[in-house]
Structure 1
Amino acid sequence: MKKIINDPETVVQDALRGMQAAHADLLSVHYDPAVVTRADAPVRGKVAIISGGGAGHEPLHGGFVGRGMLDAACPGAVFTSPTPDQVLDAVSRCDGGAGALLIVKNYTGDVLNFETAGEMAESEVRSVVIDDDVAVKDSLYTAGRRGVGGTVLLEKIVGAAAERGDDLAACEALALRVIASVRSMGLALTSCTVPHVGSPSFELADDEMEIGIGIHGEPGRQRVPVGSASEMVSALLDPVLEDLPFSSGDRVLLFTNSMGGTPLIELYLAHGIAEQLLADRGITVERRLVGPYITSLEMQGMSLTLLRLDDEMISLWDAPVHTPALRWGV
């Protein structure tokens, strides 16, 4: 195992210290329990948007803390759910009197721990669960579909709604609308290595790729010979399009995501292919996001996410955002 770390047992805390040093103008890091909050939290009169999950998916979630997106993120150990006390602490630090909305990816530990925290909180708390992965119905970590790339889009759109002053019920309703309209699927060319494990999560031969992987290094739905970029994009895009289903005339946001080890030259190449395939089906790409925004450590691979847009979602996507990993309009 070759990684830029000191001690596998302290890698998350060490990374959080570096994050605080790099972005002290945007966020505050608290260590016992580990919570990342907006530097100006709590924002009075604003619904607090809170998410979290295991580390190893950076910049998700801490990199999206800031104006126009998340008020707080709860980082667990690598690929491990945050604890209820982390979520409770985030709520107490960020509730400005308008309640809190918890955005939860559909993994068994995440759902249980966020639900427990919501029940224990003194504030008004509601939660939504995102399950956009079309690859599997159940996995090593979930009961039902996994929450993956659509989480980034959900956090941005609902974060913008909270920033403009929407109340808790409106933020929840919007979140559910986004969840119903977004689908994702990913593939891997290599596995990833969790620091405290020290060996790859699964083995792939040099001429193999895994279709339908999860963000925790879970194996996918099928292992096939490595194909061309066009074949890879089709293998992801076709199931996504069929699932909602998407159809001619739809307006979408296309999110082409690196799993951590895929360079931008390959990611842009894949994105261009996806745009053409969508155009061939009469689907209009209104908005785009390309880059490593929800990763799986150093895994080589990519995921494609499609969100069916309406006018309000487009407006909220375009709204100003100022976080370590996503910023525009500021």
Structure 2
Amino acid sequence: MAHVELATEQTLLKEIGRTESNRRQIRGWLAVVLFALFALVLVGGATRLTESGLSITEWKPIHGVIPPLSAEQWEEEFQLYQRIPQYERLNKGMTVEEFKTIFWWEWAHRLLARTIGVIFALPLLFFWVTGRIERRLRWPLVGILALGGFQGFIGWWMVSSGLVERTEVSQYRLATHLVIACLIFAGCMWILRGLCPHSGDPAPTKKSRSMAAILAVMSLFQIYLGALVAGLDAGFTYNTWPLMDGAIIPGGLFVQQPAWINLFENPKTVQFLHRAGAYLLFALALAHMLASLRAAPETTHARRSVVLFALVTIQAMIGITTLVLEVPIGWGVLHQAGALVVLGFAIAHWRGFVGEYPKSTAIELRD
């Protein structure tokens, strides 16, 4: 009997070790995916700031991987661009060499997006077939993959909005495109964090977990507002701080009719809302940190709240600098990078209150 119990215990330990090994592999894979997604969002931001997003006027998911390879192909691509309003109204007289500059930004953005699809789908298939993915994670990961495929369609839907009458893409579609990218990023971060060991420290207060969730959602909402600002070029106006147009709360916020349209189409209103959202996020992060430090300063949750507040503060400083300098490309991309860092850490912080995924294999064996 003792021999049987010893064998069962050894089998249990072996399975626990195998589960942890599988989790390390999946964490490494998701970390690579997160890094690639981070790079994709930054390249997308640079593509927007250099007004390169409309340089490729056709959607070729497979053939589009290959760029023009000859002078004739470059001329053909350039002629397609010359047919859209952006060229006629903003870039008329542009040379082929100047066109190449904006073309490469958009091509790199699309190529990176396709590459992420590959580095997500192929390892997912391998881990699934070899039994390395725990049952509870399979369909959430498939859902992220499906959302990534849908994101490709959304990207083209966004670009197409600037090919007929406009000289830029719709701010509504731009915001949708960026938010979906952030949801994919957040989903990967949530799963990765759940596969990491947790400290087991209790939450500092009864409201800590709820506040962490609010901060994560607020971080995503701020990115949405930032996308509207970018889509309307609202960051190039009212470049003073802390006053905006000479006041804390400027006039002219609801001059368009119906009034709700100002929330999406009035550059002044959209920029003001983005500022107000930043102030609110800063205040909530500060309150969360102070409450955590007051209740349980030695816990990992409290220490994470300090890091989160520091990241929010740094991001606010980057945002102010970007605004005052009238959105130079480098600062604009840095601001977008900071937003993604804040979102990623906020998601990880929230996930830390939920706890590590149970090691299902070990539990099943023990039962």
Q: Normalized against structure 2, the TM-score is what?
A: 0.30
Larger relative contact order, structure 1 or 2 (CA cutoff 8 Å, min sep 6): 2
Q: Normalized against structure 1, the TM-score is what?
A: 0.33
More helix by share: 2
Structure of greater Rg = 2
More strand by share: 1
